Amino acid sequence: MKRIITLLTDFGLKDTYVAEMKAAIYSINPEAIIVDMTHEIERHNIRQAAFILRESSRYFPEGTIHVTVVDPGVGSKCQKPLIVETGKYIFIGPDNGVLYPAAIENKLKKVYAITPDEIVKYTGRKISRTFHGRDIYAPTAALISKGIPIDEIAQEVADFIKLELKDATRENDIIIGEVLYIDHFGNLITNVREEMIPENCRKLTIEVHGRSIEIPIVESYSEVQPGEKLAIIGSKGFLEISINLGNAAEFFDLREGEKFKIKLHEI
């Protein structure tokens, strides 16, 4: 049965971990369509993974199974491996908050705790203490993609760990925001949503580390010269602070999770 399964991890590409997860899926369902969302999440950065999962999962067709393995607590008896069923997708991953923002965004329906012994019955393979991505999460996704009912391999639970990705706050012309994500180019993706910026606002002043820096709000990078600062509504609908052909994270000395203040200048 053809069904899309996405993989989102902090494994990197040096080792064979990603390949072994794919092998576990193909061993159960050779017709599965596997998409690598990314394997370059910062090590153990649950919050970063939660943001990427929430923002990127929505572009996949209904019925996609999203597997996320960013799991610094792997092997802990206190942490349940989960299946989260929503109105459009199925999310699979550890109970550490990483699935929560995406689940809420996609109309959470039910939460299940995976029963490892049931997975072993289907795979015939022992579950290791350190690689649940290969031994639990990947096989679970494959079994669901083959049409195995969720309640045959998991039990419904009442709750799971909640990780909140809060939006910025605005009062008059002042916004208090934070950096949600820094992409490969050093662009600062903030938690300031597009609707918080008035249509007649064409520049802002960002206050960070004791500096106040005025930045134009543009519709394309080409509106400023290389090396110049800019603010733009990015593809995910959030305000991004960038430098044309430069690295804004380095220039502003900002990291994910750090807060800043913005003053809006309306025309």
Q: What is the DSSP letter of 247?
A: -
**Residue ranges making up the domain that contains 54:** 4-157
**Domain check: are 68 and 181 in the same one?**
no
36-45: b (≥16 Cβ within 10 Å) or e? ebebebeeeb
**Domain check: are 149 and 247 in the same one?**
no
Q: Please give the backbone phi and psi of residue 50, each rounded to the nearest 5 degrees, phi first.
A: -65, -40
Say if strands 4-9 and 33-38 run parallel, antiparallel, or are unpaired: parallel
Q: Please give the backbone phi and psi of residue 224, each rounded to the nearest 5 degrees, phi first.
A: -125, 160
pLDDT tens-digit series, residues 141-182:
999 999 999 999 999 999 899 999 999 999 999 999 999 999
Pick the last residue of a domain from 98, 123, 157: 157
**Where residue 111 sits, what CATH number does that domain have?**
3.40.50.10790
Pick the last residue of a domain from 115, 136, 157: 157
Radius of gyration for the alpha carbons in the chain, expressed in angstroms and rounded? 21
Q: Is 163 within a domain?
A: no
Query: How many domains in the chain?
Result: 2
pLDDT tens-digit series, residues 63-86:
999 999 998 877 666 579 999 999
Query: ∠ CA 156-162-167 to the nearest 5 degrees?
Result: 140
pTM of the predicted structure, to 2 decimals:
0.92
**Domain check: are 242 and 220 in the same one?**
yes
**Domain check: are 73 and 178 in the same one?**
no
DSSP string, 34-51: EEEEES-PPTT-HHHHHH
CA distance 87 to 203: 39
